Amino acid sequence: MLQGILIAAALVGGTGLFIGVFLGFAGKVFAVKVDEREEQILEVLPGNNCGGCGYPGCSGLAAAIVKGEAPANACPVGGAPVGAKVGAIMGEEVGEMAHEVAFVKCNGSCTNAEQEYEYTGVHDCVYANMMQDGGPKACNYGCLGEGSCVEACPFDAIHLVDGVAVVDKEACKACKKCIAVCPKHLIELVPYDHKHFVQCMSKDKGKDVMKACKVGCIGCKMCEKVCPADAVHVTDNIAYIDTTKCTDCGACAEKCPKKCIL
């Protein structure tokens, strides 16, 4: 009896020892060499793994930078400071990185926008967008206010205020998560320092816009006429501001009859 137990124990122990030695040998033979720069870059990256850079997490970005597939300043969360550190590791100069933040092109709050019906479904903008007329709001282009962007933001930088999404520019890291999830395509990245934006996306004619929202752009072109920098133009009944030309003089916002320019 005792002899059988000892034999079984010896067999199990021997098998375990053999497997351990084999795995250790195989690990060395088939080991994939990692560029030490990749590990150094991974150490200076924020580690949020938000995917805002377009790669699967920080490790994916580090590998892409080492391979030359991504620039040293590709991390939107780390910004210029992290970009400079990565550039030093790679031995290359890193140019200036524009500081951008997300902006919601809608001010159709519960106070400003009309409702066609009461939505009582799942609190998700994608589901609400599939309902009749693209959601309960009279404006088919406006923020649905169900908070999908709020849930998607890993930095707690976007919140619902009176039924419309609002971005906290100080907390925003420009990871683009909110942009990807918005079914109305209302969110875009804008320069952090810029001050004037059109808070509307409606392409309807002025009379229809006024029926749906108190602060919607009616395409009157008053902003276009008073802009001294030729930075504002109305296309498809909606005003657009070219931030590369805009001097933030405020003439467009002052003249706008609907006050839809922030």
* pLDDT tens, position by position, 143-178: 999 999 999 999 999 999 999 999 999 999 998 999
CATH 3.30.70.20 fits 99-193, yes or no: yes
User: In this predicted model, what pLDDT tens digit does every residue of 212-261 receive, in sequence order?
Assistant: 999 999 999 999 999 999 999 999 999 999 999 999 999 999 999 999 99
Domains of the chain, by residue range, sit at: 36-90, 99-193, 195-262
- pLDDT reported for residue 169: 93
- Residue 232 burial by Cβ neighbours in a 10 Å radius (0-12, 13-18, 19+): buried
- Say if 99-193 and 195-262 have the same CATH topology: yes
pLDDT of 41 > 80? The answer is: yes
User: Which position has the higher pLDDT, 56 or 183?
Assistant: 183
Residue 113 has pLDDT above 90, yes or no: yes
Confidence of residue 32 (pLDDT cuts 50, 70, 90): low
Using only the alpha carbons of the chain, give its radius of gyration: 27
CATH 1.10.15.40 assigned to 36-90? yes
- Using an 8 Å Cβ cutoff, are 147 and 127 in contact? no
Q: According to the model, what pLDDT value does residue 74 have? A: 87
Question: DSSP letter string over 38-84?
Answer: HHHHHHHS------TTSSSHHHHHHHHHHHTSS-TT--TTTHHHHHH
> Is there a contact between 65 and 71 (Cβ–Cβ < 8 Å)?
yes
pLDDT tens column, 87-103:
899 888 887 777 899 99
Q: How many CB atoms lie within 10 A of CB 184?
A: 21
CATH class of segment(s) 195-262? alpha beta
pTM of the model: 0.76
Contact status, residue 125 vs residue 146, Cβ threshold 8 Å: yes
How sure is the predictor about 107, in pLDDT bands with cuts at 50, 70 and 90?
Answer: very high
- Between helices 36-44 and 57-67, what is the axis angle to 10°? 130
Q: pLDDT band at residue 4, thresholds of 50, 70 and 90?
A: low
In whole angstroms, give the CA distance from residue 62 to residue 224: 45
